[in-house]
Structure 1
Amino acid sequence: MHNDHAQGILDGKVVLVTGAAQGIGREVARVAADQAACLVLVDRAEQVAQVAEELPASAKAVHVLADLETWAGAEAAVAYALEQFDRIDVCINAVGGTIWARPFEHYDPEKIQAEITRSLFPTLWMTRAVLPSMKAQGAGTIVNVSSIATRGINRVPYSAAKGGVNALTSALAMEAAADGIRVVATAPGGTQAPARTIPRGPGPEGAQEQQWMQQVVDQTVDSTLMQRYGTLREQAEPIVFLASDAASYITGTVLPVGGGDQGM
């Protein structure tokens, strides 16, 4: 069994995964464990402990609670990872997700602020927090989870946040390449996921918001060539590929994973 494990494309790598309690982050943790990674699972929800426990015994997995919408949370998560493993080879930033669905003029200022805080800042803070140790070791890979919703309806603040993730990816890739650091991203399309154990927001506020959300779903499916949502596994596998040495000559790239919808 150990020999099979040694074939994993993340064998021996210390991989930090944010948003690991559910959704794409959780699936990435599972796939990375199958690929022999040592894992640091980060989330602000206590369910992250259960995710760590569910991984195979052969996966060296630890977990830590942190609110990555704050710099202090990101700094603490990185410090914990370095205490546990002395290095971070890969940082996968999977925290984010639209909270409300509505035309832009129906977002009040507090909602706009909340969307940016949720879907841009955790990636910005984590990237900044993990960079010094990667520079010191002269190697590292950052994989950001963006979205094809940069071209989509009823989610303008979220779209703006993900556009920020794309720009962070390309600009930092240019800056960090000389230090042996790759910075890449995937842009997931619509993804089927089980009911969220930790809700993203208050839920649709009545029939009007239900209708706005349905418009998002319809537009997302219509924009794909495959005319369907993807699975969590279909999102996680490309992320793990980009994190691995198989992608060693790829940096600054945002890979659309949206059934043919390229986003923008």
Structure 2
Amino acid sequence: MPVGAGVEGAPEIFTPNRFKGKRVLVTGAAQGIGLAVANRIAHENGSVFLVDRSELVHEVAEGLFDVSCGGIGSATADLETWEGAESMVAAATEAFDGFDVAINIVGGTIWAKPFEHYAPEEIEKEVTRSLFTTLWSVRAELPALIDNGGGTIVNVSSVATRGVNRVPYAASKGGVNALTSALALEAAEKNVRVVATAPGGTLAPERKVQRGPGPEGEQEKQWYQEIVDQTIDSSLFKRYGTLDEQAAPIVFMASPEASYITGSVLPVAGGDQG
């Protein structure tokens, strides 16, 4: 089995050929949930176009070349900007002559602290990272899907819309939920499904590209630990999920098996509804 940067072979459970003939765009694909999703779709014989801000995405894509019966492509893009989202769609369209599914995963809290301690510029950065990356991506992807005759958009939100010490992130993911439900109303007549999953805490290897500065000092470490404690306590299973446990429902929602689901946000957090 080919091995790239963090690509470890087939998931324990997957559905062969579920994405055969489908072209799938995956953002945030260099690591974490995005990598797990791209890996699963490749093993289900979809053509996968991987996008990330990190050059690492090309190494990950190379590790998937021999996995899928479809094609594999990759591009770097800064999805915090409209120009980055436009360039991503242009690259995917050039590589695969369009795409059928777009899975938008880029996002993630940068700081962990009570809201009164956030500086205004930090709030703006959190919203740019976890709302505008999806907003710009969807705006760029939608016309391409409409021109393609329809398709599916899967956004990755979070159950942290009800969580401590990350209000700007929570507000951003609330925006992703609203984007999903509102756009589903508009897009259904154009044969485009719009859905989302809302992950809870997820176990993952140490990030190769960090989202921001880690906790500094005892106070910041305590604030971060409060997030961990609340996340585990809110899960009925009292644990974090795995990457496979997050990738599986994302891939299901993206697949033809979910063809009668739109406008829904599926919590994937061990019973925590967010």
TM-score normalized by the length of structure 1? 0.96
Tell me if the contact between 1:6 and 1:36 (Cα under 8 Å) persists in the aligned partners. no
Can you list the C-alpha shifts for 1:48-96, whole angstroms capped at 9, x where unaligned? 0111111151422110011000000000010011111111100000000
- Of residues 185, 188, 191, the one that matches 1:180 is 191
Find the counterpart in structure 1 of residue 161 from structure 2.
150
Q: Does residue 9 in structure 1 map to residue 18 in structure 2?
A: yes
Determine the structure 2 residue equivalent to 1:118.
129
**What CA distance in whole angstroms lies between the structure 2 residues aligned with 1:48 and 1:148?**
27
User: What amino acid sits opposite 1:21 in the alignment?
Assistant: A
Whole-angstrom CA distance in 1 between matches of 2:15 and 2:124: 45
Kept in 1: contact 2:187–2:193 (CA 8 A): yes
Alignment equivalent of 1:259, drawn from 230, 247, 270: 270
Amino acid at match of 1:122: T
The answer to whether 1:207 aligns with 2:218 is: yes
Mapped to 2, the partners of 1:223 and 1:197 lie a distance apart of 28
**After superposition, what is the alpha-carbon deviation per residue over 1:92-111, rounded to whole angstroms, capped at 9, x for unaligned?**
00000000000000000011
Residue 137 of structure 1 pairs with residue 143 of structure 2 = no
Residue deviations 1:4-63 (CA, integer Å, cap 9, x gap)? x99421111110000001111011011111111101100010110111111151422110
Contact 1:96 1:118 in 2 (8 A): yes
SS of the residue corresponding to residue 183 of structure 1 reads strand
Of 25, 33, 37, 1:24 maps to 33
Matched, 1:94 2:105: yes
When the two structures are aligned, how many residues end up with a matched partner? 259
- The 2-side partners of 1:243 and 1:6 are apart by 13
Aligned match of 1:44 in 42, 45, 53? 53
1:196 counterpart (207, 212, 220): 207
Distance (Å, rounded) in 1 between the aligned partners of 2:133 and 2:233: 30
Alpha-carbon distance in 2 for matches of 1:89, 1:138: 9
Whole-angstrom distance in 2 between the partners of 1:213 and 1:6: 37
1:104-161, Cα deviation, whole Å (9 max, x unpaired): 0000001100000000011101100011121122211000000000011000000000
My pick for the range that moved more, 51-60 or 78-87, is: 51-60
2:90 corresponds to 1:79:
yes
TM superposition outliers: structure 1 runs of 4+ over 3 Å = none
1:7 and 1:35 in contact (8 A); partners too: yes
TM-fit CA distance, 1:205? 2.0
Q: Judge conservation of contact 1:93–1:123 (CA < 8 Å) in 2.
A: yes
Q: Secondary structure at the match of 1:92?
A: strand
Q: CA RMSD in A?
A: 1.2
- 1:246 and 2:262 aligned: no
Secondary structure of the residue aligned to 1:191 is: coil
Structure 2 unaligned segments of length 5 or more: list them. 1-13
